[in-house]
Amino acid sequence: MNKLLAGLLLISAAAIAEDGAPLGPYDAVNPFIGTAADGNTFPGVSLPFGMLQWGPDTRADGWYHHADRTIRGFSLTHISGAGCPIYADVPILPWTGEVTDPGSSPDYALAFSHGREQAHPGYYAVEFDNGVKTELTVTARAGIGRFVFPADAARTLLIKVSDSANVDDAKRKADTSAVEVRGTDTIVGSVHSGGFCGSDSQYVLYFALTFARPFASAGTWTATVSPGSTSAAGHKVGAYVSFPRGAEPIVAKVGVSFVSISNALANLQAEIPGWDFEAVHAAAKARWTDLLERVHADGGTPEQRTIFYTGLYHMLLSPNLFNDGNGEYIGFDGKVRRLAPGGAQYANFSDWDTYRNVVQFHALLLPEQTSQMMQSLIRDAEESGWLPRWPVANDVSYVMGGDSPALLIAEAHAFGARSFAARTALDFMLKGATQPGTGPHGQSQRPGLAEYLSRGYIPVGDGNETGASVTLEYASADFAISRFAAALDDQANAAKLLRSAQNWRNLLDAETGFIRPRTSDGKFLGDWDPDHLMPRHKNWDQVDQLGFEEGSAWQYTWMIPHNYAGLFAALGGEQKVVPKLDKFFQKLSGWAVPTFTVTNEPDFCAPYAYVWTGNSWKTQEVVDRVRRETFTAKPDGLPGNDDLGATSGVYVWNALGLYPVIPGVGGLVLGTPMFSRATVQMGNGRTLEILSRGEGVYVQSVKLNGSTYDSTWLPLDVLSAKENRLEFLLGAQPNKTWGAHRASLPPSFDVPAR
């Protein structure tokens, strides 16, 4: 408890050890980054991709907001950085007062200050203002907590079974949760929730909570508290256990499962058989240390190192393990299924966000584990008929437009995750891309597919407000599928999908130089002003321009990275494109503005568009600005929702000096590195060492494995040595000739003119 009592909290960038040396990767992580403003991260405990993510909630919707001063409980499940509330199941709260109405009263929360709170990967601790102390640590499916009360205080733990994030949503009013007191040392139960982003998605979580010492009394509640009751069921239920007064810790272990209470108990017993908190904590720290040190960075300021390693940490929290230790999981068809030995099922894929920069990192570092993630999506498709779009637990939410699961699988394969049923995956990709139809909840993998296939675009109107952005998302998915098909030697489908990947041309208005929505009569949308984002959405709080989801024509026009050469030619060439990009990057953040927005996923690749014009130095300037101006090591240091690591991924990749710009293609565009040295241990047994010499951010020259490298494009297959070295010479002034020749540009993918 010494660390807890010391109240060591990294709020800003102090990534320096007491001896003045830079902190290592583990100690540089600050889980409080992103817990203020709109980051939506949480400072609780988890293993990489863990099922149990146990941590504090300050609000009824399951979020932790850094400005709040009370904690409502420590819930067992979270998703880091999502744009909508979900999970936050079964909050547990230590309590010193009477138990009168915990099911509905907001007063059942404890005051705290950040000076007595700390968080590290796999460890969280807080001392409340009333002197109650809590420590948490975890394994993959289980956790152990220590709760220390003042010696003269009453000692109770509240188990708020049905206080999940969305339990009071209108769609959830009929959901039933249940709790049971077993003997004098165990509480078990289940909670039924869902409704991510207003969707019809749902799930059931089971839990088992055991104590090292017997409790003296217990009770449950529904509408009222029932002392001595051993069970309860309903929409709002919970339980409490009380212990004799004393100063010794109350030690509790909890296991979870999405299959059954018996599996939750089995997970708990298998992963934490004893009561040694420190041993579990040490194992969690060792696991995180091993994974974070696979990207070893030297140099940089303390703040840069903290932002970088916290970003990497956030990228490794999801997707989440979904099967139990016995191999069982609940399928998309609601049936209990069992994996073959060695298999793993994963859930919670924020695909619209993470296909842009997260899955590539997973595949490079952890190809076998990433392959299991992709096989999980294939199983979901086999059980439901379609690849799931933004799956939550064992259901599909259909959040965000496009066909992002296809992109996710193609990206994983391109970056080295190959141990999954690729041909089956391609069959489902092709089905989603070519066969209109409905899946779970009567919704479609690709809404509007019939019009997309017949017209080559999705028109706006008749209630469709996002036809232009969805058209571009489908074009990106078609391109990624085409590369995936080519890799599997399906040349016919590769050629077919490469043609439809050029459907962006059907929305390019050469007169204005923008992607512009069309209506069903084939005409471009009228009353249109890209600089003022007119016309606006009718139902989107006046944030977005009609035709686009989370964005505008200014932002989506650059979301064609698979064929920048074709786009730029159609826009009139470099002389028109570069000034347009310069105007776009006048600002780096903000909504409802006709400029770049670092928080907006379609914009993530845009800083690298300059490279295709032969002006890499302009990319280097923008990347440096993004790193310096939009991220900090403070709680509000993420410039928007982290979206399961996607926003963090912008910083991590840009800091390394590389970016996965082209969807479905195994290669990286060169930017400008931030560290003097960074070594990436790839999962294929090879390493990539990225070195930089000189002062400034402008690339003067590059060497690969000792030889001059003039290209701005780094295909993964050139990293064929056991140890690969990419060396940048940087300067304070731009070298406008480096990367400017046609042969130096990254590829673009078009179809021959007819």
- Would you state the pLDDT for residue 3? 40
Q: Which helix (H) or strand (E) holds 691?
A: strand 687-693
Q: CB neighbours of 120 closer than 8 A, spacing ≥ 6? A: 26, 27, 29, 31, 285
Fold annotation for 2-292: Beta-galactosidase; Chain A, domain 5 (2.70.98)
Q: Which tens digits make up the pLDDT trace of 712-739?
A: 999 999 999 999 999 999 999 999 999 9
Per DSSP, 42 falls in state -
| Ramachandran assignment for 643, one of left (phi > 0), alpha (psi -120 to 50 degrees), beta (any other) | left
Model confidence at 265: pLDDT above 90: yes
Give all strands (DSSP E) within 562-676, no chain letters: 658-659, 667-670
| Cβ burial 271-309 (10 Å sphere, 16+ → b, else e) | bbeebebeebbebbbebbeebbebbbbeebebbbbbbbb
- Would you state the pLDDT for residue 102? 87
Q: Which tens digits make up the pLDDT trace of 491-527?
A: 999 999 999 999 999 999 999 999 999 999 999 999 9
Of 168-172, 317-321, 730-734, minimum mean pLDDT range:
168-172
SS3 (DSSP) at 502 = coil
Q: For the domain bounded by 323-446, which CATH number is listed? A: 1.20.1050.60
Q: CB neighbours of 460 closer than 8 A, spacing ≥ 6? A: 466, 467, 468, 517, 518, 519, 525, 546, 547
The percent of residues above 70 in pLDDT, for the chain, comes to 96
| Cβ burial 708-726 (10 Å sphere, 16+ → b, else e) | ebebbbbebeebeeeebbb
Give all strands (DSSP E) within 224-288, no chain letters: 225-227, 231-234, 238-243, 250-257
Long-range contacts made by residues 490-497, C-beta under 8 angstroms, separation at least 24? Answer: 490/426, 493/426, 493/430, 495/751, 497/433
Q: CB neighbours of 54 closer than 8 A, spacing ≥ 6? A: 44, 45, 46, 74, 75, 76, 124, 136, 138, 143, 145, 254
Backbone φ and ψ of 103, nearest 5°? -75, -20
Fold annotation for 448-557: Glycosyl hydrolase family fold (1.20.1610)
Q: Which tens digits make up the pLDDT trace of 450-470?
A: 999 999 999 998 889 999 999
Alpha carbon distance 42, 53 (integer Å): 9
- Would you state the pLDDT for residue 20? 67
Domains of the chain, by residue range, sit at: 2-292, 323-446, 448-557, 572-754
- Would you state the pLDDT for residue 106? 76
| Cβ burial 20-59 (10 Å sphere, 16+ → b, else e) | eebbbbbbbbbbbbbbbbebbbbbbbbbbbbbbbbbbbbb
pLDDT bracket for residue 101 (50, 70, 90): confident
The percent of residues above 90 in pLDDT, for the chain, comes to 92
Q: Which residues pair with 731 in a beta bridge?
A: 698
Alpha carbon distance 256, 51 (integer Å): 8
pLDDT bracket for residue 17 (50, 70, 90): low
Per DSSP, 537 falls in state P
Q: Which tens digits make up the pLDDT trace of 374-393?
A: 999 999 999 999 999 999 99
CA angle in degrees (0–180, nearest 5) for 181-191-42: 110
pLDDT bracket for residue 14 (50, 70, 90): very low
Q: Which tens digits make up the pLDDT trace of 558-608?
A: 999 999 999 999 999 999 999 999 999 999 988 888 999 999 999 999 999
- Would you state the pLDDT for residue 645? 98
Task: Please state the rounded mean pLDDT for residues 619-631.
Answer: 98
| pLDDT, the chain, mean | 95
Model confidence at 239: pLDDT above 90: yes
Specify the pairing of strand 723-731 against strand 687-693.
parallel
Contact (Cβ atoms closer than 8 angstroms) between residue 177 and residue 162: yes
Count of CB atoms situated within 10 Å of the CB of 340: 6
pTM over 0.95: yes
Model confidence at 16: pLDDT above 70: no
Alpha-carbon separation of residue 418 from 45, 189, 494, 604, 657 (angstroms): 30, 39, 18, 26, 26
Model confidence at 694: pLDDT above 70: yes
Contact (Cβ atoms closer than 8 angstroms) between residue 34 and residue 637: yes
HSE, CB side, 13 Å, CA atoms: give it for residue 540.
Answer: 20
Q: Which CATH superfamily does the domain covering 572-754 fall into?
A: GH92 mannosidase domain (3.30.2080.10)
- Would you state the pLDDT for residue 541? 61
Q: Which tens digits make up the pLDDT trace of 301-316?
A: 999 999 999 999 999 9
Nearest to 749 by CA among 611, 564, 537, 584: 564
Specify the length of the chain in residues: 754
How many angstroms separate the first and last alpha carbons of the chain?
73
